[in-house]
Amino acid sequence: AAKLTDILSAITENRSTPAAEIGAARQRIADSDAEVGAFLRLAPDESLDEAASSEGPLAGITVGVKDIYDTRDMATEHGSPIYRGHRPVADASLVSMARLAGAAIIGKTTTTEFASLDPTPTRNPRNLDHTPGGSSSGSAAAVAAGMVPLAFGSQTGGSVIRPASFCGVAGFKPSFRLFPTIGMKTFSYTLDTAGLFAATAQDLALAARLITGRDFGTGSLADGSGLRIGLYRSAVDGEVAAEMQAAVEEAARLLEGSGATLVTVEEPAALTAARSCHAAVQGFEAVMALSDEFRRHREKLGPDLGAVLDHGATIEPAEYDEARRTARIGRKAASALFETVDVLIAPSALGPAPLGLASTGDALMNKLWTLTGNPVVNVPGLAASTGLPLGVSVIARFGRDALALDVARLLQAMIAAPE
């Protein structure tokens, strides 16, 4: 796999150059994207030539960008025929910040329509008969296939953490609004969260720091001593496959074995209620976000999105306002959970990637934390008996993204360590 930290080390130590790394990524995409279908289009040569001569801290790092982020040098179609050929004048903020740091925005990755539910043709590199998940399908698949070391996604329900889990890569859904969503097509403006995919949690932390200038942890946790880990028991755990539950418990044992204190945290009623109000918040806001497309091009919308908007259009403002109140109470309950533990661990999905491409899976394990805005990191490395990946979520207090990434780095290292 193309690992961001290794590429940057190779360039720093003069064992490689940005131009060589960009050329190698183009070759990897040419070699493997025909069967995976992660990319929609690649950047023009002049963009990549410009990036090849960059001296920024991310020089040589090629990035796949979900096609709901505006790019000034490539079409941006949001997975919809309504936007075919649409060409923004300017980059989305996060894309511009990555370019300023020297990254090479190498291509646009597939997205479900408007980042909702109607699937893409992209396949799971771990097993091509299975979905890579969604809505950030191409970004997760591109990193899992080792085509690029970094990819941008977004999450409104579970669209970063779930595909990261299905594809066996590290995924980062930051605290709400930590990354800008300016220039990213809006689906639900109190839920939409920009996120990242990479091979490891260490790569995620480094990329996030170099793009935003913020601290995302030092990776200095040698073991779990001093950590208080909460094994989260939700009201919907009955939906979780036994193998996924076992994977989370394996992760808990690893952390406990390295010195962490492990407690079980039962879901408070306020968070069960918050999870249940996600659909009303999302549906009501999506009808506003896509009002023009919904009213003027209803026949061009996919069946799943059409159903979400048809239902959303029946939600009264008072119902939406009640859902927002429930969400706010949920955020307070989430904050209280972190008085007793440093991080929670929980399943990143209901199980391994479903067979076939008809569905991108279920966001049931993710949408609560999208609504509350807590940072979540998917830790890859564990697998089902079929070999399909099973991801473990590390969830921290709002704003403690660095801690979530540090614990994720420790856990990923322990999972990868030989017995």
Ligand X SMILES: NC(=O)CC(=O)O
Question: In the complex, which residues of this chain contact ligand X (CB under 6 A)?
Answer: 115-117, 134-135, 155-159, 162, 360, 363
Give the integer Cα–Cα distance in Å for 29 and 38: 9
| Cβ 390 vs Cβ 181: under 8 Å | no
51 vs 117 by CB, closer to ligand X: 117
18 vs 157 by CB, closer to ligand X: 157
159 vs 200 by CB, closer to ligand X: 159
| Cβ 79 vs Cβ 300: under 8 Å | no
Q: Cα-flanking dihedrals φ and ψ of residue 150, to 5°?
A: -150, 140
Cβ at position 262, least distance to ligand X in Å: 29
User: Which token pair is 415?
Assistant: 């999972």
Cβ at position 161, least distance to ligand X in Å: 9
Cβ at position 284, least distance to ligand X in Å: 16
Give the integer Cα–Cα distance in Å for 192 and 197: 16
Cβ at position 14, least distance to ligand X in Å: 41
**Residue at token pair 């890569």:** 169
Question: Crossing angle of helices 303-312/269-289, nearest 10°?
Answer: 100
117 vs 145 by CB, closer to ligand X: 117
The residues, ordered by sequence, that sit 6+ positions from 335 with a Cβ below 8 Å of its Cβ are 397, 398
Give the integer Cα–Cα distance in Å for 120 and 134: 8
Cβ at position 399, least distance to ligand X in Å: 21
User: Which token pair is 335?
Assistant: 């904050």
Question: What is the strand order of the sheet 62-66 is part of?
Answer: 39-42, 104-109, 62-66, 150-155, 193-198, 170-173, 376-383, 389-396, 343-347, 228-233, 261-266
200 vs 348 by CB, closer to ligand X: 348
For residue 173, the surrounding DSSP H or E stretch is: strand 170-173
142 vs 410 by CB, closer to ligand X: 142
4 vs 115 by CB, closer to ligand X: 115
Cβ at position 67, least distance to ligand X in Å: 13
Cβ at position 249, least distance to ligand X in Å: 25
Cβ at position 157, least distance to ligand X in Å: 3
The residues, ordered by sequence, that sit 6+ positions from 49 with a Cβ below 8 Å of its Cβ are none
Cβ at position 115, least distance to ligand X in Å: 4
Distance of CA 192 to the CA centre of its chain: 11
| Cβ 137 vs Cβ 119: under 8 Å | yes
**Residue at token pair 């996120």:** 195
Cβ at position 159, least distance to ligand X in Å: 3
The residues, ordered by sequence, that sit 6+ positions from 355 with a Cβ below 8 Å of its Cβ are 129, 130
22 vs 323 by CB, closer to ligand X: 323
103 vs 194 by CB, closer to ligand X: 194
- The one-letter amino acid at 310: D
DSSP state, 130? B
159 vs 234 by CB, closer to ligand X: 159
How many residues are there in the chain? 419
User: Which token pair is 344?
Assistant: 């929670």
